């Protein structure tokens, strides 16, 4: 899956968040979108994934050189982000079953192995409302990374994770993100140090 941006811009009211973004995201590569808090990283990510429309410009999705309709891109992408909501009335097992009714799970995994990967066997039948912020973040990351999708989007992936959680995240990426188009929004180097390419959102504010 490739994503091509042509003169993409996004504004809120009269204020441009970014403008004239021309970029080609290539399948199998990893990209870090960098910038200070409030600079528009998450906005660009939401435009890429299709949850926000661009104010100007064109975005194209190519699946092996075949154009993919933007409305169909959801099935080809997975996202983990701090603003992403979890269904708090679900138990962890119920959430896993629900999530993977929409996405295919990576080969060699099943619900029980995913619970073990999270190291949350004792909390598997607990409602998510009782999960700590760190447990919630690990759950979001595991669901996204273990989805069999060609694109993976991560926004501030180690939010609410301690040192042990960060090591767990890096292992997750090493294991499941190798052959995907990986795009990470971050301003912390440990979250994106392995990315091959860097995009500084500030360079698209000179207009």
Provide the residue count of the chain: 207
Tokens of 178: 């190798």
**Residue 67 has what pLDDT?**
87
Asked if residue 72 has pLDDT above 90, the reply is: no
Bridging pattern class, strands 15-25 and 2-12: antiparallel
Burial class (CB in 10 A: 0-12, 13-18, 19+), 142: buried
Token output for 129: 């409302």
Q: Where are the domains of the chain?
A: 2-204
Q: Is the pLDDT of residue 74 over 90?
A: no
Measure Cα distances from 105 to 38, 74, 109, 162 in Å: 33, 15, 7, 26
CATH topology assigned to domain 2-204: Rossmann fold (3.40.50)
pTM here?
0.94
Cα–Cα distance, 186 to 138 (Å, whole number): 17
Check residue 170 and give its pLDDT.
Answer: 97
Tens of pLDDT along 143-187?
A: 999 999 999 999 999 999 999 999 999 999 999 998 999 999 999
pLDDT digits (tens, 9 = 90+) for 77-131: 999 999 999 999 999 999 999 999 999 999 999 999 999 999 999 999 999 999 9
Contact between 146 and 117 (Cβ < 8 Å): yes
């Amino acid at each position: 899956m490739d994503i091509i941006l042509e003169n993409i811009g996004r504004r809120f009211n009269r204020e441009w968040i970014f403008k004239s973004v021309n970029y080609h995201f290539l399948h199998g590569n990893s990209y870090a979108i960098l910038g200070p808090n409030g600079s528009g990283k998450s906005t660009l990510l939401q435009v890429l994934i299709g949850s926000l429309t661009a104010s100007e410009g064109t975005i194209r999705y190519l699946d092996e050189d075949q154009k993919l309709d933007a409305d169909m891109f959801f099935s080809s992408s997975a996202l983990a982000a701090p603003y992403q909501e979890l269904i708090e009335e679900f138990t962890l097992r119920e959430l896993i079953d629900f999530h993977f009714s929409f996405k295919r799970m990576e080969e060699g995994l099943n619900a029980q192995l995913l619970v073990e990967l999270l190291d949350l066997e004792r909390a598997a039948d607990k409602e998510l409302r009782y999960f700590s912020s760190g447990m919630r973040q690990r759950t979001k990351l595991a669901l996204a990374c273990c989805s069999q999708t060609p694109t993976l989007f991560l926004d501030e992936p180690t939010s609410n994770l301690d040192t042990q959680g960060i090591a767990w995240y890096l292992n997750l990426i090493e294991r499941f993100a190798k052959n995907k188009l990986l795009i990470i929004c971050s301003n912390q180097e440990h979250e994106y140090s392995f990315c091959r390419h860097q995009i500084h959102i500030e360079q698209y504010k000179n207009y």
